[in-house]
Amino acid sequence: MNEPLVSIVIPTLNSEKTVKGTLESLQILDYKNFEVVVVDGYSTDNTLNIVKQFVEKYGIRIVLEERKGRGVAYNRGVLESRGKYVAFLDSDSRIATPTWIKNAVILMENNDKIGVVFTKVFSPPDSKFLQKSIDTYLCKGFTTANGAIYRKDAVLKVGGFNEKMNYMQEDELLYKLTKAGYKYEVNFNDKIYHYHRDSIRSYIKQNMEAAYGAKIFHKLTKEKWVIRDALTRLTIFFASIIFGLSLILLNIKLFLILLLLSYIILLLKVNFETCKHYRWSKYIYLSPFLIYISIIGYSIGFLTQRDKKR
């Protein structure tokens, strides 16, 4: 197969702790015809100095973008890219398998109606316990721009990423691609490593931002499942508070029994749905608590986040 040019776009912003690992992972690729575009949001730490160490090795082009947001960085990367395909790699991620690009390109070269190939993303082996516990229920998903490889002309045709969105912008782009007649594939043979949030505070904040992204996604697409999902989370949030406080005041033993029962049910659900390597692992046992924390963050975000005018 003649290798078409693939542009690997790496958005960065104060990523000095992780970007070196991201760039070093490029060396494992068995695909030769690629360029690297780093879109930096004017980092104030040592990020750019680290990137410059790899400029000669990979012919990296550094693009500065003062506007903030993932959608902004992704779109700038697409516009700056010269390749037929655009691959995104977050600056806190690493390529885990050498055939990441090759397998996606083969799929798209064989079918010009495939607009994007998603790649499975997992927590790296050296992640903290909290990060791997989060991964037990997030690893089953795949619609993330991180590790995804897009057909450039298809992305431009539908208007690119929504620049108001920091979450679900890839879902919104996928919605536009499918409406335009494109399909997607998921590459289960390869994987990308990505570090999840490493503190409860940052995880709550992430879920608050995710709720805001969901509100924009629904506003643009009118997809009913978004509202159903939000109502389910809000119902669990308020019901747990109301019934929990009531039971604590009336019957603390019944409260503890129901709490334990809820924990066991959710534990079994996560264990049944999680990726194979996590089943009955030690990380499973923390997941029910983290799922509830994510519901708290999402509910707060959904109720408080307002549309921001740009």
- In percent, how much of the chain has pLDDT > 70? 98
Give pLDDT tens digits for 94-152. Answer: 999 999 999 999 999 999 999 999 999 999 999 999 999 999 999 988 888 999 999 99
Cβ partners under 8 Å of residue 109, min gap 6: 1, 4
| Secondary structure element (H or E) that encloses residue 285, with its range | none
Q: The pTM is what?
A: 0.90
| Residue 250 confidence class, pLDDT cut points 50, 70, 90 | confident
- Rounded Cα distance between 286 and 54, Å, is 39
User: Taking all residues of the chain, what is their mean pLDDT, rounded to a whole number?
Assistant: 93
Residue ranges of alpha helices (H) inside the chain are 19-24, 47-52, 55-58, 70-80, 100-110, 129-138, 152-157, 169-179, 200-221, 224-250, 252-273, 287-304
Q: For the chain, how far is it from start to end, CA to CA, in angstroms?
A: 45
- Which tokens go with 228? 């159903």
Residue 92's pLDDT is 93
Give pLDDT tens digits for 173-183. Answer: 999 999 999 99
Residue 1's pLDDT is 64
| Residue 234 confidence class, pLDDT cut points 50, 70, 90 | very high
Residues 6 and 83: beta-carbon distance below 8 Å: yes
Pairing outcome for strands 34-40 and 6-12? parallel
Domains of the chain from N-terminus onward: 6-194 (3.90.550.10), 200-304 (no CATH)
- Rounded Cα distance between 259 and 253, Å, is 10
Residues 152 and 8: beta-carbon distance below 8 Å: no
Give pLDDT tens digits for 210-224. Answer: 999 999 999 999 999
Give pLDDT tens digits for 254-293. Answer: 889 999 999 999 999 999 999 999 999 999 999 999 999 9
Q: Between these two residues, 249 and 104, which has the higher pLDDT value?
A: 104
Residue 310's pLDDT is 44
